[in-house]
Amino acid sequence: MIEVRGLTKRYGEVLAVDDLTFAVRPGEVTGFLEPNGAGKSTTLRMILGLDAPSSGTATVGGMPFTAHPAPLRAVGALLDPGAVLSSRTAFHHLLALAAGNGIPRSRVDETLTEVGLEKVARRRAGTYSLGMRQRLGIAAALLGRPPVLVFDEPLNGLDPEGIVWIRSLMRNMAAEGRAVLMSSHLMSEMELTADHLIVIGRGKLIADTTMKDFIEAHSEREVLVRSPQTQALRRLLSEATGVRAEDHDTLVVTGLETVRIGGLAAAAGVELHELSPRQVSLERAFMDLTKDAVEYHAGEETSR
Amino acid sequence: MTHVRGIRGIRGTRDVRGALSARPTRRPAGDARATPWHSLHAEWIKIRTMRSTLFVVLGTPAFCAGLAALNGSSAGTDYADMSAADQATFDPLAISLRGYLLVQIALGLLGGLVITSEYGARTIVPTLTSVPHRVRVLASKAVVLVGVALPVGILVSLVGFLVGQAALSGAGAPHLALSDGAALRGIFGGGVYLALAGLFGLALGTIIRSTTATVTTLFGVMLIVQAFAPALPGGLGDWVSKYWPPIAGGQIITAVQDPELLSPGAGLGVMAGCVLVLMAAAFVVFRKRDA
C-alpha cells in the first residue's frame, strides 16, 4: 500500500506536484494518469526517495521507502528501462542490485527466467532491444518479490506483444494481492489494465476514482440504428435526449437503450437493419476531463 | 534481434503466469535486512564488471614498466655526463616511479567512473531504489575503489621500481635495492598516493556527475597545474609548487629532498587532507541532492 499525503514538489516558480493526496491499495492496478508534464514521474521519484518533497509525505507499507530494512523486498520499481550500463551483462546488472539487499544469486536466475531473458542474460545490455531492456527493468522490480510495484510508463515504445505481456503481468501481480501503480499519459493504456484511476493535471489531483465509476460517469452510451425508414424512425424517438443522422440510413441515438428503441420500432412496424450500443471512447472523456490542465494545446499559443 | 525478442516474448508470458502464480508471496531466502556488507558486495560486483577496471588493472603496470625502463636507461646513460651538482641530486627512486603521473589520471578516472557511469547510464535510479541509504552507497563505492586502486597502485610502483632500477644498473648509474629505506617508502607511499588519486576522482565525479567534465577537471588539477606552476608569478608559483595537493603528494616518490618543497610525508598528508575534504563535500552533496 502506498499513501501519499499533501505531497508537493516545487522547482523555483513551478509546482510540478501540487498537494497530492491519494492511496494505492493492494490487489489492484492503479493507473496514474497525466496528459503531459512532469508531475507523474516526480511523484513516483518522491515515493521512492529519489527526490525530496518540498512538503508532504509518501509512505510505502506505513513507512517512508528509505526506512525499509530491505527496500527491494518492499517495493519493486521500473522508472527508466534504459537504466543499465551498456557494457555490463543483464545478469551482472541484476546480481549487483540483488546483492545490495542480500537476495541470493539463485533468485537472479529465477527472475531472468520469469521475464524470458535467461538465454541472453550473459550478453552485454548494450546489445538489447528496447523490449528486452524493458524486461530487464521489470526483472529488477521483481527481484525481491515485493508486495508493491511501481511502473513509470511501462508500455512506452513496446511492440504489441510486449504490451500484452506487461499488461498480463500487472494483472497477475494485482491478482496475487500486490499493490500495482502504473503511470501513463494515455487513457487507452489504462482501459484494459487499471482497476482504479488517479488523474492529475499540472501536478494537481483531478480525479481519484474506480475505473468502473469513471467509465460510467464519463462515457455516454450511444446507440447506432440503421434503417431504410429514418424519417419514420426519428418521429418515434421523441424520448431520446439526442438523435443525429450519421449517414443517409443511420441514426445515432443518445438517452435511449437498445431494448426501448427496438420495441418502439417493432410497435410501429419500422424495419431495422442494425441496432447496436456504442461507447464514447475513454480517451475522449479523459481529454475532456484534463483539457483545462493541459499546458500546451496544439495550434495555440503556449500561454496559459 | 526482432525474431529473438518474439520467441522470448511468448516464453516470457507463459513463464510469468506459471512461475509467479505458483509461488505467490514466498519471500526469497537469505537475510531480510540489508546491511552495509550487502552494499559493499553490490559495489564490488559493479566495479569488477566495469570495463575500465580491467583496462586499468592490466594497462597501468605494463605502462609503468615500459616508462621506467625508458627513463632508467636514458637517465642512466646521461648520468656520466652530468655536473657534480646534478649528480648529487640524482634521484634513482623518482626516475623509476615517474609513471605515477599518468597512472594517477587512470585511477582518478576509474574513481570518477564508479559514480559518473551511474549518472551517465541512469543506473543511479536502480542503485538507490536498491540501497536508498546514500551514505552507505558512496562509502561502499569508496571502499571497493580503494580495494582496487591500492593494490594496483602498489603493484604499479613495485613494477616501476624493479624495472627502473634494473635499467639504471644496466647503464652503470646509481640505483637502489628494495632493502634501501627510501625504496619501500616510495613504493608503498606511491601506492597510497595513487589510491588517494582514485578517491579524488570519486569525490569529483560525485560532485560533478558528468564523466567528461570529471576527466577534464582531473587533467587540469593533476597535470596542467603541475606543468604550469613554474610559469605562475613568483609567490603564487612557489605556493602552488609547494602546496598544490597533487604536487605535494607526488613528493612521496622522491629520495632526494628539494628544500623548497614539502617532505614526502607532509606532502602525502596534504594530498590526503585535500581528498578528505573533497570526500566530505561529496557525501554532503550526494546525500542532499535529488538523484
Q: Is B269's pLDDT higher than 80?
A: yes
Residue A246's domain spans which residues?
A: 220-279
Which residues, in sequence order, are CB contacts of B66 under 8 Å at separation 6+?
none
Cβ of A147 within 8 Å of Cβ of B25? The answer is yes
Cβ of A172 within 8 Å of Cβ of B122? The answer is no
Nearest CB to A162: which of B9, B43, B132? B9
pLDDT tens figures, B46-79: 999 999 999 999 999 999 999 999 999 999 999 9
Residues A181 and A166 in one domain: yes
Nearest CB to A85: which of B19, B39, B121? B121
Residues A146 and A163 in one domain: yes
CA distance A207 to A197: 7
Give the helix, strand, coil percentages of chain A, each rounded to 5.
35, 30, 35
Q: Is B31's pLDDT higher than 80?
A: no
Residues A101 and A142 in one domain: yes
Q: Is B11's pLDDT higher than 50?
A: no
Residues A266 and A208 in one domain: no
Residues A201 and A168 in one domain: yes
Give contacts of B1 with chain A, Cβ < 8 Å.
Answer: 127, 129
Which residues, in sequence order, are CB contacts of B11 under 8 Å at separation 6+?
A116
Site of grid cell 499488461: A167
List, for chain A, all residue ranges whose pLDDT scores fall below the cut of 50. Answer: 299-304
Which residues, in sequence order, are CB contacts of B249 under 8 Å at separation 6+?
B193, B196, B267, B268, B270, B271, B272
Residues A224 and A203 in one domain: no
Read off the C-alpha cell for B48: 569488477
Angle at CA of residue B58, ends B52 and B59, nearest 5°: 80
Looking at the DSSP assignment, which residues form a beta bridge with residue A181?
A30, A150
Best mutation target among A48, A73, A85, A130 (most B Cβ atoms within 10 Å) is: A85
DSSP state of B25: S
CA-only gyration radius of chain B, Å: 24
CA nearest to A144, candidates A66, A70, A62: A70
Cβ of A71 within 8 Å of Cβ of B2? The answer is no
Q: What pLDDT, on the 0 to 100 scale, is given for residue A297?
A: 54
Q: What pLDDT, on the 0 to 100 scale, is given for residue A10?
A: 94
Give the helix, strand, coil percentages of chain B, each rounded to 5.
80, 0, 20
Residues across chain A: 304
Interface contact A97, partner B, CB < 8 A: yes
Helix, strand or coil, per DSSP, at residue A277: strand
Share of chain B above pLDDT 90, in %: 80
A 229-288 residues with CB < 8 A to B = none
pLDDT tier at B8, thresholds 50, 70, 90: very low
Q: What pLDDT, on the 0 to 100 scale, is given for residue B286?
A: 97
Site of grid cell 595537493: B245
Interface contact B33, partner A, CB < 8 A: yes
Residues A171 and A247 in one domain: no
Number of domains making up chain A? 2
Q: What pLDDT, on the 0 to 100 scale, is given for residue B143?
A: 98
B 124-183 residues with CB < 8 A to A = 124-133
Tell me how close the Cα of A53 comes to any Cα of chain B, in angstroms: 10
Looking at the DSSP assignment, which residues form a beta bridge with residue A152?
A183
Tell me how close the Cα of A119 comes to any Cα of chain B, in angstroms: 9
The overall average pLDDT reported for chain B is 89
Interface contact B22, partner A, CB < 8 A: no
Residues A44 and A166 in one domain: yes
Which residues, in sequence order, are CB contacts of A163 under 8 Å at separation 6+?
A155, A189
Q: How far is CA B276 from the centre of its chain?
A: 15
**A239, part of any domain:** yes
Q: What pLDDT, on the 0 to 100 scale, is given for residue A126?
A: 92
CA nearest to A54, candidates A102, A78, A18, A21: A18
Residues A119 and A235 in one domain: no
CA distance A58 to B33: 22
Interface contact A104, partner B, CB < 8 A: yes
Read off the C-alpha cell for B118: 551511474
Residues A143 and A62 in one domain: yes
Cβ of A115 within 8 Å of Cβ of B21? The answer is no
Cβ of B38 within 8 Å of Cβ of A100? The answer is yes
Residues A102 and A229 in one domain: no
CA nearest to A103, candidates B5, B265, B30, B40: B30
Q: Is B14's pLDDT higher than 80?
A: no
Interface contact B35, partner A, CB < 8 A: yes
CA-only gyration radius of chain A, Å: 24
Q: What pLDDT, on the 0 to 100 scale, is given for residue B134?
A: 97
Residues A145 and A200 in one domain: yes
* Boundaries of every domain in chain B: 36-288
Angle at CA of residue A112, ends A107 and A117, nearest 5°: 170
Give contacts of A159 with chain B, Cβ < 8 Å.
Answer: 5
CA dist list (Å): B195 to B90, B156, B271: 27, 11, 11
Cβ of A83 within 8 Å of Cβ of B126? The answer is yes
Give contacts of A145 with chain B, Cβ < 8 Å.
Answer: 25-28
CA nearest to A103, candidates B134, B44, B42: B42
CA dist list (Å): B158 to B44, B98, B162: 25, 12, 6
Please give the average per-residue pLDDT across B93-113, as a whole number.
Answer: 95
Name the residue of chain A whose CA is nearest to B6's CA. Answer: A161
Nearest CB to B5: which of A45, A84, A129? A129
Read off the C-alpha cell for A196: 482504479
CA distance A291 to A280: 17
pLDDT tier at B17, thresholds 50, 70, 90: very low
A181 within 8 A of A46, measured Cβ to Cβ: no
Residue A54's CATH number? 3.40.50.300
Give contacts of A51 with chain B, Cβ < 8 Å.
Answer: 290-291
The pairs formed by B276-282 with CB atoms below 8 angstroms and a separation of 24 or more are: B278/B199, B278/B200, B278/B203, B278/B204, B278/B207, B279/B142, B279/B199, B279/B202, B279/B203, B281/B203, B281/B207, B282/B138, B282/B202, B282/B203, B282/B206, B282/B207
**A45, part of any domain:** yes
Element (H, E) at A18: strand A14-24
CA dihedral B187, B188, B193, B198 (to 10 degrees): 110
Give contacts of A176 with chain B, Cβ < 8 Å.
Answer: 20-21, 24-25
Residue A254's CATH number? 3.30.70.980
Please give the average per-residue pLDDT across B152-161, as a whole number.
Answer: 96
Interface contact A81, partner B, CB < 8 A: no
Interface contact A133, partner B, CB < 8 A: no
Q: How many CB pairs under 8 A join A and B?
A: 182
Q: What pLDDT, on the 0 to 100 scale, is given for residue A188?
A: 80
Interface contact B54, partner A, CB < 8 A: no
Q: ipTM more than 0.95? A: no
Q: How far is CA A239 from the centre of its chain?
A: 37
Last residue of some domain: A217, A249, A268?
A217
Q: What pLDDT, on the 0 to 100 scale, is given for residue A275?
A: 92
Looking at the DSSP assignment, which residues form a beta bridge with residue A148?
A75, A179
Residue B116: HSE in the Cβ half-sphere, 13 Å Cα cutoff: 21
Interface contact B42, partner A, CB < 8 A: yes
A72 within 8 A of B126, measured Cβ to Cβ: no
